[in-house]
Structure 1
């Protein structure tokens, strides 16, 4: 630190530094430095006083925020000390104000904090007293001017303050004159030259005196003025004012030309010695000569320039009244003009520091900006109130006189508001009040706080079987309102397993059937789908954003495979009829054509059932709905076939004219597009009634693979014996099969279900119709019937078993029982219980594959936009 002058001044500086250290506990640091200190002089260890460790000032960017005038101090980046950067002139900074205190703001970043430092610039005696002029001319009449007469002199001024500005005056030795200094509270200090002895012009015409002004500094500085006094004759009465001091109050917004005051002086002389002219001198401030003017004849003082309370609050004027005598005499008075403050300055608001963008997860109390507010007016006109507009999640906190912090008061959400335009409004206390504002733009930065969300929790997609590999099935889309990487979504198929021990198909992951494009969400098939292997595929699609940490959402996709007519009807062995019905044989049961045969008794009445053609179609719905047509013989033959039952019955009574054998060609067609068919050839032998009964008994105990029926005439007693044996075998076989079916049924009821709702194998959709009967599937399954009209959107449930052959006895005629009530469509898994064979199947409506069915989700509901962490 540089030298501080005499020891007493050094002790004062030490005391001020100790006071600054003590004030630190109150939240404000105070330092003192003498003016004219050299650049580089250390004012105080600012970083140490603020509690910063070594190295922290530079790391945390300790710096000053200059306000208004140019700063003459700075913070050393390395040491954190407050040093003088340029010349400090107390008179330039504060004028006559005492004490001269500079308020500084110190910012520390990471975290952002503000400290307030008050720097007092102390005065040194660097200004000598100064008189308005170096020479003063006076004229004093001889004899007529009596001893004790007083002549006002303009005192000296000193720019310093305190003891350095306390002036004392001395006059060079003279037997005729002395000095008198008067001090009053209203007029201040007045200097007079007092005549102590009458003048004699003939003895000395001109008196030259020197007035010396000394200040109270150590060492003291002085200033002088030379008084040149001319001794005059004659005119012995000087003009006199009615007041020695005039006081005027003038608002600062007074217009030019306004009359300030009119002074009046009188002279007891007569003639030209009584004529008075006025002149005006500006005592304070010295540069205010163009502000006021006086009329030389009337003594009216008018405003010529603009006055501003914030620049000059008080004017001191001296009015001289001189007569026209020879020599002329003059009188003097003072005019004190007090400028009244008017609310003519609006508040000023400026941003000293701004920390943006603000993260949307910022906590309440986060400092966004530092602001300074000031008003040049005084009193109530200078008191400023601040507020934030419009209503926003920000507020103002007063930190120091004229300093505010813009802080966060509520939680932010970038997805709702991404940027705020905050306006800080300031209003002073004047009448009317003046206002000012400052806009602050506060952008909000994104945080990954939103997980991808699907529009639906469950997507239902229909796809035709035998689709091409790579065919697009659907498009999924998840919304993430975050921006950039936080909102960039990628899709994937969650690994699920299809099949298992309960379904009879090897377990396979769901990703072996379908895949989803990671960017577009396009769902496409990896391989052709087979309805007979897989009817329903349920899996989850996961949407994961690219945030840190990543968030994800899930949606369940239920893929229903829509059946295509890719399976032709398959013929089954004939069911045995009643009396008079022969034993049927199927040489090659299955798809295609088959050769079957049966017996019929002569004279059988019309409507007698001879045989029942049975067929099954691995497809479902329309594709499995079968109809039976008699292809040959055409025309009016003795037999007919039930359109949907497949029962071959007599169309009329059989006669001998019909011949011993009838060959029937029966075509079984499904309702697919295009339709597929199978052909069955049935040979019916016409025999006597007793032969037909024996043939029926024998056929029930013979093997279906024997290829020919046994006639009673050829077997005799051996045939009856064989029939009894086969009846016993058949009863045992049926009982065993019944027990096995019961065991399997119980095992299937208690077996656990597969995790993924799907099942291989064919599924036959059965609907009610006014004609025909039920179609049967080879396995238990379910399917969805999507109708063009409102009355056909139904779920159908049907039996997985084949219908048992009718018992021996009279064949019942084709009946048409009432159709059962259809199951309503439900959002959860339907009950897949067995059903009995019903008649009147209704043709099912055809589904529309390749599209998602909204709201028809079957199975457990998936999660959409669950907000889960990736991998959770």
Structure 2
């Protein structure tokens, strides 16, 4: 008894058939191949790349590969040629069991671009399995005499793991005059084999019969298996038990609980006594694992379930039941119980991710395939029909590509700055009642694209910086937000454009980069040099923020840097303007801006309030720092003169007398309102003379004012003046008349002349004008105001800060009340000029009032 191995076969005709099948499958939209089992490793199953329409060299370049589902396939794709070859042993019986045909579903993936093809590989059967009996030996007991010819004894047939013709078995019995074989075939049930008694037995002649039962399959060449039959001849118990049914059919759901009654078999024996008492046994079960699933009560014939059924594993069981009496020898009757297992929805769907392309760029187009999924359910019928959906419903969706295969595609545009990662859940539900569900989570990160430009928190930044700040001092910190990540969100800063200019800088324009710099990483704005308000008041420039993306994106912000004035300039005395609005006049400046020596004349008998001189000063600062006040430092106490607190006009405090002496020395201090205050000192020498000498000094001063030489009164001038009084009176009258006519002409010209222009341009202002309430200097890069006439009276033009400080307390503060005009008023300037002429004419009309000259 042995098993013959299959001879070598030529595969030429088979390959041609396979090629024809593959061509037919391609025409139908699916690639199909066929390969015999036990083919050697390396056997070419088919030219997969060529059948898929790929040119030479494309399979490897485009990443042609197999996607395994569940168990490992025994075939692979050759990377170089793109051919489908056998990679390991193909055993059809291991892969498919008794199922026919044995078709393996393969998924072929092409990654660039991403496509999936479905290939069906049929593994054909070869006759590589010989028939096998359940046991190598079977013992039978047959009673003599009582066993009549024609009696049948069931035998356990052989099984063959092959299918088709290779599994079609035929049986032969070794030659015997007493026994023959009877094979009962049925389309509905498995074939039944019987040993038939053809001739009565005689135990005394042949007590034991030994036969050989041979099973042959239908393969070419045929394979065989044998079983030894040992038949013992017993004495008379000539009635065998008879079952009420030869076949019991039972349907049992796979969810049946342990202990469930499967069937109740019943048999009768007409014998009496021990020959009629029966016991039931299960002689054979197919498949063999059924022996552990069912339990048979030997007395009652009840068959109960003692294990769990699984429709997906075994769909039906056949149990051979034998009823044996207790006669001598015992006789047996047989029946078959067929248990059909009914499917129950006990298997949830299964979801596999076969391919995943992540991360997904945020600018990916709608319809981009993100993942390939495979869904299956081991149940059958409605219980195995699966519906799939994706949650959340946006921005991804499912597209069915084949039965049980889906593509996870992009349905909406992505924005990484809004959602940087998605947790997508693919949900599957079968059609059972109740339905079973399964899910598979897919993490889809979104990669960044440089689609956001840096953005400043403010479009315009206003920065205040005090002048004389240290070089390198931090002025402000700028920050721009870029929601992108990594290099796309890394921002660098730079000064883009802008600048300023001023008189101290030569009146030219200078770029902002010469004043300030910005740190490229932190956005810290710092000064390159100390700032000077008198040179630069406002610096406007742009700061640019650029990210490191490709291409880079940028954003801009405007910075307005206002320089805050510090009191770093002391008041400076100005030279005389060539004439004054009173009977006295200031003399020539004798020193620099810090201090000065001035001369003036006053006539004895001059009334209180007579202006004898005017101190003129300027401060290069602005605002409070440039608001000047004048104080009489010497002589202290009740002297004959006083000075206007804000106008700088020196006037008589009372009527001048001869007791006041021929000369008065006045020390006047000019202070600003800064913190701390800065000051300058002017020394004014006032000579007290007769009225005629004062008029003569005024005439001489007007004739020699261009050279700057003043008249010096000598001792004993009182006698000379008396001798020539009449002459000088005539001269004074002529001079006053001339001045009156000149004043009338100037007044008419001022009525018809256009307004003085207000010039605008870069650099600090140089306007210095005096008034009743003080002297101011207005300096700003955007506007410059110029006085268009030399010398100003009490109503000279002023420029005030909007925050005008209150005048200090004291008697001088009551003289004038400051009014801060917002714009330069040229009309007021012309009125001041005309006022100067009118005052001169009024004073010239009186021959008794003294006249002073300004040197």
Could you tell me the TM-score, scaled by structure 1's length?
0.81
Task: Show the counterpart of 2:444.
Answer: 442
Name the Cα RMSD after superposition.
4.0
Q: Deviations over 1:156-177 (max 9, x none)?
A: 3222222322334445555655
Q: Decide whether the 8 Å contact of 1:620 with 1:763 is kept in 2.
A: no
Instruction: Say which is worse superposed, 360-369 or 576-585, in terms of deviation.
Output: 576-585
Cα distance change of structure 1 residues 453 and 397 upon mapping to structure 2, 3 Å threshold: same
What is the CA distance between 1:197 and its match in structure 2?
5.2
Task: Show the counterpart of 1:331.
Answer: 333
Q: Give me the whole-angstrom Cα distance separating, in 2, the residues matched to 1:807 and 1:621.
A: 22
Task: Show the counterpart of 1:773.
Answer: 773
What is the CA distance between 1:684 and its match in structure 2?
3.5
Q: Decide whether the 8 Å contact of 1:577 with 1:610 is kept in 2.
A: no
Task: Show the counterpart of 1:679.
Answer: 681
Cα distance change of structure 1 residues 778 and 209 upon mapping to structure 2, 3 Å threshold: closer
Q: Give me the whole-angstrom Cα distance separating, in 1, the residues matched to 2:778 and 2:295.
A: 123
Q: Decide whether the 8 Å contact of 1:285 with 1:316 is kept in 2.
A: yes
Which of 103, 107, 110 is residue 109 of structure 2 equivalent to?
107
Task: Show the counterpart of 1:643.
Answer: 645
Task: Show the counterpart of 1:665.
Answer: 667
Which of 22, 29, 34 is residue 27 of structure 2 equivalent to?
22
Which of 604, 607, 610 is residue 609 of structure 2 equivalent to?
607
Task: Show the counterpart of 1:524.
Answer: 526
Which of 350, 368, 371 is residue 369 of structure 1 equivalent to?
371
Cα distance change of structure 1 residues 454 and 239 upon mapping to structure 2, 3 Å threshold: same
Instruction: Say which is worse superposed, 539-548 or 42-51, in terms of deviation.
Output: 539-548
Cα distance change of structure 1 residues 650 and 781 upon mapping to structure 2, 3 Å threshold: farther
Which of 257, 272, 295 is residue 274 of structure 2 equivalent to?
272
What is the CA distance between 1:500 and its match in structure 2?
8.4
What is the CA distance between 1:628 and its match in structure 2?
0.8
Task: Show the counterpart of 1:118.
Answer: 120
Q: Give me the whole-angstrom Cα distance separating, in 1, the residues matched to 2:288 and 2:768.
A: 112
Q: Give me the whole-angstrom Cα distance separating, in 2, the residues matched to 1:560 and 1:834.
A: 27
Which of 240, 243, 246 is residue 242 of structure 2 equivalent to?
240
Cα distance change of structure 1 residues 340 and 579 upon mapping to structure 2, 3 Å threshold: closer
What is the CA distance between 1:267 and its match in structure 2?
0.4
Structure 2 counterparts to residues 271-350 of structure 1, below 5 A? 271-350=273-352
Instruction: Say which is worse superposed, 703-712 or 613-622, in terms of deviation.
Output: 703-712
Q: Give me the whole-angstrom Cα distance separating, in 1, the residues matched to 2:688 and 2:503.
A: 51
Secondary structure at the counterpart of residue 21 of structure 1: helix
Instruction: Say which is worse superposed, 244-253 or 698-707, in terms of deviation.
Output: 698-707
Task: Show the counterpart of 1:49.
Answer: 51
Q: Give me the whole-angstrom Cα distance separating, in 2, the residues matched to 1:471 and 1:504.
A: 25
Q: Give me the whole-angstrom Cα distance separating, in 1, the residues matched to 2:498 and 2:675.
A: 34
Q: Give me the whole-angstrom Cα distance separating, in 2, the residues matched to 1:7 and 1:461.
A: 91
**Is 1:560 matched with 2:565?**
no
Identify unmatched segments of 5+ residues in structure 2: 1-6, 714-720, 796-812, 830-855
Task: Show the counterpart of 1:486.
Answer: 488
Q: Decide whether the 8 Å contact of 2:453 with 2:553 is kept in 1.
A: yes
Task: Show the counterpart of 2:90.
Answer: 88
Q: Give me the whole-angstrom Cα distance separating, in 2, the residues matched to 1:702 and 1:733.
A: 22
Instruction: Say which is worse superposed, 714-723 or 222-231, in terms of deviation.
Output: 714-723
What is the CA distance between 1:100 and its match in structure 2?
0.9
Q: Give me the whole-angstrom Cα distance separating, in 2, the residues matched to 1:629 and 1:6.
A: 129
Q: Give me the whole-angstrom Cα distance separating, in 2, the residues matched to 1:836 and 1:160.
A: 124
Q: Deviations over 1:240-283 (max 9, x none)?
A: 11111112222334343333222111101111110101110333
Which of 189, 192, 211 is residue 191 of structure 2 equivalent to?
189
Q: Decide whether the 8 Å contact of 2:578 with 2:705 is kept in 1.
A: no
Cα distance change of structure 1 residues 600 and 315 upon mapping to structure 2, 3 Å threshold: same
What is the CA distance between 1:806 and its match in structure 2?
4.7
Q: Give me the whole-angstrom Cα distance separating, in 1, the residues matched to 2:31 and 2:687.
A: 126
Could you tell me the TM-score, scaled by structure 2's length?
0.82
Bigger radius of gyration: 2
| Aligned pairs, number | 794
Secondary structure at the counterpart of residue 218 of structure 2: coil
Which of 159, 162, 167 is residue 160 of structure 1 equivalent to?
162
Q: Decide whether the 8 Å contact of 1:531 with 1:561 is kept in 2.
A: yes
What is the CA distance between 1:79 and its match in structure 2?
1.1
Secondary structure at the counterpart of residue 505 of structure 1: coil
What is the CA distance between 1:449 and its match in structure 2?
2.7
What is the CA distance between 1:297 and its match in structure 2?
1.6
**Is 1:468 matched with 2:470?**
yes
Which of 760, 764, 774 is residue 761 of structure 1 equivalent to?
764
Q: Decide whether the 8 Å contact of 1:535 with 1:762 is kept in 2.
A: no
Q: Decide whether the 8 Å contact of 1:129 with 1:213 is kept in 2.
A: yes
Q: Decide whether the 8 Å contact of 1:597 with 1:682 is kept in 2.
A: yes
Cα distance change of structure 1 residues 774 and 423 upon mapping to structure 2, 3 Å threshold: farther
Q: Give me the whole-angstrom Cα distance separating, in 2, the residues matched to 1:185 and 1:686.
A: 157
Q: Decide whether the 8 Å contact of 1:583 with 1:695 is kept in 2.
A: no
Task: Show the counterpart of 1:825.
Answer: none
Instruction: Say which is worse superposed, 319-328 or 10-19, in terms of deviation.
Output: 10-19
Q: Give me the whole-angstrom Cα distance separating, in 2, the residues matched to 1:833 and 1:580.
A: 26
Cα distance change of structure 1 residues 11 and 544 upon mapping to structure 2, 3 Å threshold: closer
Task: Show the counterpart of 1:221.
Answer: 223
Q: Give me the whole-angstrom Cα distance separating, in 2, the residues matched to 1:591 and 1:290.
A: 124
Secondary structure at the counterpart of residue 615 of structure 2: strand
Secondary structure at the counterpart of residue 622 of structure 1: helix
What is the CA distance between 1:386 and its match in structure 2?
3.7
Q: Decide whether the 8 Å contact of 1:799 with 1:836 is kept in 2.
A: no
What is the CA distance between 1:61 and its match in structure 2?
2.9
What is the CA distance between 1:537 and its match in structure 2?
1.3
Q: Decide whether the 8 Å contact of 2:153 with 2:194 is kept in 1.
A: yes
Identify the structure with bigger relative contact order (alpha carbons < 8 Å, sequence gap 6+): 1
What is the CA distance between 1:332 and its match in structure 2?
0.6
Q: Give me the whole-angstrom Cα distance separating, in 2, the residues matched to 1:837 and 1:227.
A: 147
Q: Deviations over 1:788-809 (max 9, x none)?
A: xxxxxxxxx9955488645699
Secondary structure at the counterpart of residue 315 of structure 1: strand
What is the CA distance between 1:774 and its match in structure 2?
5.8
Cα distance change of structure 1 residues 389 and 381 upon mapping to structure 2, 3 Å threshold: same
What is the CA distance between 1:629 and its match in structure 2?
0.8
Q: Give me the whole-angstrom Cα distance separating, in 1, the residues matched to 2:445 and 2:518.
A: 37
Cα distance change of structure 1 residues 500 and 676 upon mapping to structure 2, 3 Å threshold: closer
Q: Deviations over 1:804-839 (max 9, x none)?
A: 645699xxx9875684587xxxxxxxxx8768889x
Secondary structure at the counterpart of residue 373 of structure 1: strand
Q: Give me the whole-angstrom Cα distance separating, in 2, the residues matched to 1:215 and 1:765.
A: 130
What is the CA distance between 1:443 and its match in structure 2?
3.2
Q: Decide whether the 8 Å contact of 1:620 with 1:777 is kept in 2.
A: yes
What is the CA distance between 1:463 and its match in structure 2?
2.1
Q: Decide whether the 8 Å contact of 2:66 with 2:76 is kept in 1.
A: yes
Q: Deviations over 1:528-570 (max 9, x none)?
A: 2222111111112222222222222222222222222222212
Structure 2 counterparts to residues 67-82 of structure 1, below 5 A? 67-82=69-84
Secondary structure at the counterpart of residue 92 of structure 1: helix
Cα distance change of structure 1 residues 157 and 3 upon mapping to structure 2, 3 Å threshold: closer
Task: Show the counterpart of 1:12.
Answer: 17
Structure 2 counterparts to residues 818-837 of structure 1, below 5 A? 819=819
Q: Give me the whole-angstrom Cα distance separating, in 2, the residues matched to 1:184 and 1:774.
A: 134
Cα distance change of structure 1 residues 765 and 594 upon mapping to structure 2, 3 Å threshold: closer
Q: Give me the whole-angstrom Cα distance separating, in 2, the residues matched to 1:597 and 1:382.
A: 122
Q: Decide whether the 8 Å contact of 2:173 with 2:180 is kept in 1.
A: yes
What is the CA distance between 1:626 and its match in structure 2?
0.3
Cα distance change of structure 1 residues 731 and 284 upon mapping to structure 2, 3 Å threshold: farther
What is the CA distance between 1:54 and its match in structure 2?
1.9
